[in-house]
Every structure is written in C-alpha cells, then in structure tokens.
C-alpha cells in the first residue's frame, strides 16, 4: 500500500469520504514515524543493537516457555493439582465428558485430577 493510500484511509474515514483533520494529522504522524524508524535502522550500530535485543528476547522467551509445565493441571514444580479447586494436590483421577474435538455432536471421556475434597 502506498503512503498516499495510508494517508487517505487513516483513522475512521471510509474510502469514499474526505478524511478529517484528525485523520490527516494521524496519517502524517504515521508517515513521519515510519520514515524516522527506517532512517534509524539504516545506521549499522542501531541495526546491530536491535538485532542483539531481538536475539536476547528470543532467548528469554525460549527459557520462559521451557519453564511452563506441559500438562494443563501441573504447577511449575511438575506436581498435579486438582482440576476443580486448583488449590489442593491431586490424589485421584475422575472421568468427565466433554464434546469431541473431531465431531461436535459426540462426547468423549477425559480424565481429570481430583483432590477428593471439593
């Protein structure tokens, strides 16, 4: 999309309507921000810094997702908790019916951890 199209269709103005003064200002600010960031990234030291930040955030995200427990009813220490009260540790499993992911008209049994008290 060309920048003139962005300027015309900014904000809430429909394609056929004339853009309001607010829309024009918003479009001008967006164009200015875009060109500013292009100039900023064109400088090699800035691009290198951005790359470093991106790699660091990817690494942080990878560590964060590795810490998330795989099971839905597991806490961060890997212990099963009750699927109903979500407080007490699980001592048994109960079966419940849920609608099938494949066929919505059918039900399937699922096993859920249960504390036995709630």
Q: How far is CA 61 from CA 29, 37, 55, 66, 67, in A?
A: 32, 25, 10, 8, 10
Query: How many residues bind to Zn ion according to rule CB under 5 A?
Result: 6
Report which DSSP code applies to 20: P
80 interacts with Zn ion by CB under 5 A: no
Tokens of 96: 């419940």
Q: How far is CA 26 from CA 3, 17, 33, 43, in A?
A: 13, 16, 10, 26
Quickly tell me which residue has 């709630």 as its tokens: 118
115 interacts with Zn ion by CB under 5 A: yes
Stretch that binds Zn ion, among 36-44, 56-64, 76-84, 97-105 (CB under 5 A): 76-84
85 interacts with Zn ion by CB under 5 A: yes
92 interacts with Zn ion by CB under 5 A: no
| Nearest distance from C-beta of residue 76 to Zn ion, angstroms | 19
| Nearest distance from C-beta of residue 75 to Zn ion, angstroms | 14
| Nearest distance from C-beta of residue 79 to Zn ion, angstroms | 14
């Amino acid at each position: 999309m060309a920048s003139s199209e962005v300027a015309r269709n900014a904000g809430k103005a429909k394609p056929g309507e004339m853009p309001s003064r607010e829309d024009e200002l918003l479009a001008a600010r967006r164009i200015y921000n875009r060109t500013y960031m292009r100039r900023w990234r064109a400088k090699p030291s800035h691009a290198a810094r951005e790359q470093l930040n991106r790699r660091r955030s990817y690494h942080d995200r990878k560590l964060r997702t590795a810490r998330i427990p795989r099971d839905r009813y597991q806490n961060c220490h890997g212990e099963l908790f009750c699927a109903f009260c979500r407080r007490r540790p699980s001592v048994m499993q109960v079966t419940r019916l849920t609608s099938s992911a494949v066929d919505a008209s059918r039900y399937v049994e699922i096993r859920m951890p249960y504390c036995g008290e709630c």
